[in-house]
């Protein structure tokens, strides 16, 4: 991967260009251009950005950007395969304990405990709600000036003992 940076740096220097000049033309930050030249790709946020920077930088310098990107991707894939092989060796000998269910259960217990604590410590549980005031006792001396008119009693209608209903269906609508 350092070969790509060397190629870009040598080409830039042979054309007497500075990183600032290239940055202004390509709109790539100077620190990213410098990082690519040094092979320090950890400064760039993601691998896809590195690919874009290499392509644009190389094209600007008149190089084949696609070929340099292909070289970069191949070297990254080679490095990734080596890393995976090393990781596989370690994981074969280690006990794989899945902590996700344990974390879920502990989180649930903590949330339930917090809810119960809030209910227990609730400052409003002893809040006195005002009761409606009882009507003041009326004094016997006070009498209304105009007494309400008397409502005549209405007799309830008498209910028949039997109810006969005849329903005839003719089929017509």
Q: Residue 54 belongs to a domain with what CATH number? A: 1.10.260.40
Judged against a pLDDT cut of 60, whether residue 4 lies above it is answered with yes
Q: Residue 125 — pLDDT band, cuts 50, 70, 90?
A: low
What is the domain range of residue 26? 2-91
- Are 5 and 38 in contact by the 8 Å Cβ rule? The answer is yes
Judge whether 155 lies within some domain. Answer: no
Judged against a pLDDT cut of 80, whether residue 156 lies above it is answered with no
Judge whether 165 lies within some domain. Answer: no
Judge whether 115 lies within some domain. Answer: no
Judge whether 146 lies within some domain. Answer: no
Judge whether 141 lies within some domain. Answer: no
Judge whether 102 lies within some domain. Answer: no
For residues 143 and 146, give the distance between their C-alpha atoms in angstroms, rounded to a whole number.
9
Judge whether 34 lies within some domain. Answer: yes
How many structural domains compose the chain? 1
Q: What is the pLDDT of residue 74?
A: 86
Judge whether 125 lies within some domain. Answer: no
For residues 155 and 73, give the distance between their C-alpha atoms in angstroms, rounded to a whole number.
102
Q: What is the pLDDT of residue 20?
A: 92
What global pTM score does this model have? 0.47
**Angle at alpha carbon of residue 148, lines to 143 and 154, rounded to 5°:** 140
């Amino acid at each position: 991967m350092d070969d790509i940076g060397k190629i870009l740096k040598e080409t830039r220097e042979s054309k007497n260009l500075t990183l600032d000049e290239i940055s202004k033309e390509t709109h790539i930050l100077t620190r990213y251009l410098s990082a690519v030249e040094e092979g320090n790709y950890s400064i760039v946020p993601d691998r896809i950005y590195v690919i874009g920077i290499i392509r644009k930088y190389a094209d600007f310098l008149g190089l084949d950007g696609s070929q340099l990107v292909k070289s970069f991707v191949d070297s990254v894939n080679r490095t990734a395969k080596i890393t995976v092989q090393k990781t596989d060796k370690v994981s074969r000998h280690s006990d794989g304990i899945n902590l996700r269910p344990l974390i879920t259960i502990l989180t649930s217990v903590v949330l339930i405990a917090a809810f119960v604590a809030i209910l227990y410590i609730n400052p409003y549980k002893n809040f006195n709600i005002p009761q409606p005031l009882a009507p003041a006792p009326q004094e016997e001396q006070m009498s209304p000036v105009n007494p309400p008119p008397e409502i005549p009693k209405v007799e309830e209608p008498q209910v028949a003992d039997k109810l006969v209903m005849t329903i005839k269906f003719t089929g017509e609508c």
